[in-house]
Amino acid sequence: MSTADISSSTTKISIVYYSGTGNIHKLAVAAEEAAAKTGAEVRLRRVAEYVDASLAPEFTEWTEAWRENAEAIADIPTATADDLDWADAILIGGPGRFGMIPAPLKHFIDLAWPLNARGGLSGKVMSSFTSTGAPHGGQEATILSLNTVFCHWGGIIVPPGITDDIMTAPSNGNPYGVSSVSGQQAVPGRLAENVTEDNLAAIAHQTRRMLEVADALRRGRAADADR
Ligand SMILES: Cc1cc2nc3c(=O)[nH]c(=O)nc-3n(C[C@H](O)[C@H](O)[C@H](O)COP(=O)(O)O)c2cc1C
């Protein structure tokens, strides 16, 4: 059972993400805006980078883009396990890295171990999103890794499915979790330029959908508690 406060009159969502070069950040901000418009309480939280130097200094454009993104997102509060504990709904995003969850995000997930061990994540609504360089570069593998974590946490996974016309737009179509394609290069000064308006509309849809379910669960649990 979720430890979120069931007597609260609004549904709470934490949007937790790791972004190296801005694509996931842009999707996360669109999710935050969509959630706020529903009247939900929203926490937008970034997972901190855990290396001080570029992973690949010899890739100078990527390194410059990575630094530019770090500066752009510096003011976003960093995620803690409390952000997961607080929420009724948890939306997590990260880029695919070799078809897997990026290491900083995996580290954050590992830090939620004590919270999970005391059952603090059970019964919350969960969903995930990603971005990759190539259309077949491992979006499903990355999303399913995140969703596998949600299974371990006892979450209630609410995927976007193809439940709205926006999901069939050419740059969308991933029913497991909204996914964008950045292309092979991160270009300084043009961060996240390949995240499309349709991707942004799709993540808004995914966010609203999970909030609908989270809201219904919260109301049902509050009614049960009053009996
Ligand atoms: C270390 C590393 C590994 C990556 N692995 C993949 C991959 O397996 N498949 C792919 O399509 N893109 C891969 N990419 C590209 C990123 O997934 C892609 O650029 C994504 O849009 C970055 O999101 P971000 O800007 O939020 O960090 C990789 C990038 C890095 C830095």
The CATH number that applies at residue 47 is 3.40.50.360
**Gap between the Cα atoms of 193 and 187, Å rounded:** 9
Mutate which of 128, 182, 194, 196 for ligand 1 pocket (most atoms within 8 A of beta carbon): 182
Residues 48-74 have pLDDT tens digits of 998 999 999 999 999 999 999 999 999
For the chain, percent of residues with pLDDT exceeding 90: 94
The predicted pLDDT at position 9 comes to: 83
Residue having the nearest C-alpha atom to atom 28 of ligand 1:
97
Does residue 206 lie within any of the structural domains? yes
Query: Residue 160: inside a domain, yes or no?
Result: yes
Question: Is the CB–ligand 1 distance for residue 194 below 6 Å?
Answer: no
- Domain of 126 in residue numbering reads as 12-226
Work out the pLDDT band at 178, boundaries 50, 70, 90: very high
Asked whether residue 120 is domain-assigned, the answer is yes
pLDDT range class, residue 1, cuts 50, 70, 90: very low
Q: What is the pLDDT of residue 97?
A: 98
Picking from 18, 26, 17, the residue whose alpha carbon sits closest to that of residue 192 is 26
Look up residue 226 and give its two tokens: 């009053």
Residue 50 and residue 107 in contact, taking contact as beta carbons nearer than 8 Å: yes
% helix, strand, coil for the chain, step of 5: 45, 15, 40
The residue nearest atom 9 of ligand 1, judged by CA position, is 137
Per the DSSP assignment, residues forming a β-bridge with 97 are 100
Question: CB of 16 within 8 A of CB of 79?
Answer: yes
Nearest to 31 by CA among 163, 102, 128, 113: 128
pLDDT of residue 185: 80
Residue 4 in any domain: the answer is no
* Contact 21 CB / ligand 1 (< 6 Å): yes
Instruction: State the DSSP code for 119.
Output: T
Residue 190 counted as domain residue? yes
pLDDT at residue 216, rounded to an integer? 97
Asked whether residue 2 is assigned to any structural domain, the reply reads no
Average pLDDT taken over every residue of the chain: 96
Q: Per-residue pLDDT averaged across 116-125, rounded?
A: 98
- Sort strands 89-95 and 156-157 into parallel, antiparallel or unpaired: unpaired
Specify if 78 maps to a domain: yes
Residue 157: closest CA among 89, 98, 96: 89
Chain centre to alpha carbon of residue 29 = 10
The total number of structural domains that make up the chain: 1
What's the gap in Å between 55 CA and the centre of ligand 1? 12
Structural domain contains residue 6? no
